[in-house]
Structures are given as structure tokens and as C-alpha cells.
Amino acid sequence: MQFNAAQIAMLVNGQLEGNPDALVTSFGKIEEAKEGQLSFLANPKYEDYLYTTRASVVIINQTQVLKEKIGPTLIRVADAYTAFATLLAKYQELMTKELTGIQQPSYIASTAQLGEQIYIGAFAYIGEHVTIGHNVKIFQGVVLGDHVTIGDNSIIHAGVKIYKECVIGNNVVLHAGTVIGSDGFGYAPQSDGSYQKVPQIGNVVIEDFVEIGANTTIDRATMGSTIIRAGVKLDNLIQIAHNVEIGVNTVIAAQVGISGSTKVGKNVMLGGQVGTAGHITIADGSKIAGQSGVTKSIKDPNKSFNGTPALDFSSSLRIQAMTRSLPNLEKRVKELEKMVEQLLSERVNA
């Protein structure tokens, strides 16, 4: 890959400052970038590196004020982070675009329907009546169960397992080791103390433009569908239980566990290691801080929560402040107890 600064500015609709012919062949972090690399500055914490970086081209925000003379060519944009992400996506697209064809050994059922310009890596298994759209990339060791559907332009990375009858939309990315459609955790307690398995006969539906991190698991519904709505972004190592529904453009960080039949609204943000009870709802726009435990439904939209059980953020902070004061309060109580004992003793002796 080789682009000059003028071409990059055109791709991100940016304003060029410096040499339009400055060439870049790769990307680099602003504190480590070398000549011939493209970098960006979005976080003010890294501003000092703007004046020392060896990068040939740096993308910055339009509002960035220069305090010193700089060496690289600059491209000013409305949002440097978004612009850099766009360029990385373009680069990744170019790197994978040439992958086509079917590697051997692999198994593809005779009833499977394959779209145009697809890639299937070695040791993949494509079951009966599977439908794969156009420009799909299926990497090594992927297993697609019977009647699975994969939409156009989706990327299924190595080792992904998709159980029967699950539906994957267009422009979906599933990272390595993800499991879609394994049985939900459903068992009926019996009078003798044992548990009878409840058959899980539903499926999982993943809508368009969803990205799911490595080793995340999404259980099939008992009946109906577990649904991941369009634009959802899931991190690595997340557990989504049966009959859960995740709303449009929700983002969820690593090690979150969402219990069965929970309904998460749109544009929700869940921090790392959040856990939810089952059969609850989380309102649109909610923000749940990491390691919080959501034990009951959140009904009011666009509010922030923290702690276990999760409380609104301001209440949680007040409780934390009070908790830090407990040692001093305990000391004062003990001093007051001694004073009361002394007064009672003096009264009795009088």
C-alpha cells in the first residue's frame, strides 16, 4: 500500500497542511511512528508527540492549535479518530479483497448455495442447505450447520462455529472462536433433585453491520430467536443467553454476561464484567459502568448506573463517598460511647 498525503486527505475529506506528495506505506502510533507512516492525534494526552513524531503524515482535529513547529504533513478533519478508523477499514478491505476461491481440504454439502467472489478456507465445513451471500470470507476451520444463512460481505474468522438454522446478516464480522447458536441453559428441576433438559429449538438472528469479538458465545432461543440488532458491537469473551435481544447500535465490553430473556435497548453501553439478571429490560441509551450488577429493569432512558446492585450514578458516588468515611465515623461513635459512659459514671457517683 502506498498513498500520498493529497490522496489521503481526499479519502477523509480533510484539509491539507504541508507537502501533498508526502508518501505513506503503513500505519504507526504517534509516539512510535517512523518515516513513511501515517498516524493520528485524537487524545490530548498524546499532544506532545505531535512535535517529536517521525511520521510523514498525521491526521489531527480541525480544532487542534499548534504550539510549536512540526515536521510531518498534517490533515485536519472534524474527528481524527473516526477518520483514522475509516482509513484502517479501507486498508483492511484492500488486504482481504483478493481472497477468493475454495481451499482444500474442506467439505461443502451439495445442497449449499454459494454466492459470487467468496473465499472458503481449508478445513471448513459447510452443512446442508446453507446459503452464503456474495463476497463472503470464511476462514479456516469454520463450521456452518445445516440451514445456516450468511449475508453478503460478511467475514467469518477461523474456528467460528454457527449451529443449525442461525441467520447472519450482511456486513457482519465474527472473530475467531465465536460460537453462535449453542443450546441455552435451560433445565427443569425435578422432585428428586435432578434436572431435566429443556430442548432449545429456536435460533440466533444477527442483523447487518454487527461485529462480534473472539470467543464470544450467543445461545439459541428456547423458542423463537435470540436477536442481535443492526450495528451492535460485542467485545471478546461475552456470554449472551437464550432469548436475549440486544438493541440497535449497542456496544458491550469484554466478560459481560447477559441472562436469559433480557431485553437490552438501543444505543446502550455496558462496561466490562457487567452482569444482568434474567427477564429484565434495560432502557435505550443506558450506560452501565464496569463490574456492575443489574438486578432489576431500568425503565428510564439515557441514564448512567454503577455498582451492585446497580444504582443511578450520582447515588452510587454518594454511597462510595459515605463508605470511605466509615472509619472516621466508627472512631467518632466510639469516642461518644466513652463520653456517655463517663457521664453516666459521674452521675451515679454523685
- The continuous run of DSSP H or E covering 330 comes out as helix 326-349
**215/235 Cα distance (integer angstroms):** 9
**222/241 Cα distance (integer angstroms):** 10
**62/109 Cα distance (integer angstroms):** 54
Whole-angstrom CA distances from 26 to 55, 97, 171 are 10, 18, 25
Set of cell numbers at residue 48:
506532545
Assign residue 91 a region (left: φ > 0; alpha: ψ between -120 and 50; beta: otherwise). alpha
Nearest Cα residue to 37 out of 91, 78, 82, 98: 91
Set of cell numbers at residue 227:
436477536
**143/34 Cα distance (integer angstroms):** 41
Q: Which of 147, 157, 175, 242 is catalytic?
A: 242
Q: Is 157 a catalytic residue?
A: no
Cα distance from N-terminal residue to C-terminal residue, the chain: 96
The residue assigned the cell 434474567 is 278
Say what angle helices 313-324 and 326-349 make with each other, to 10 degrees: 50
* Residues with a known catalytic role: 242
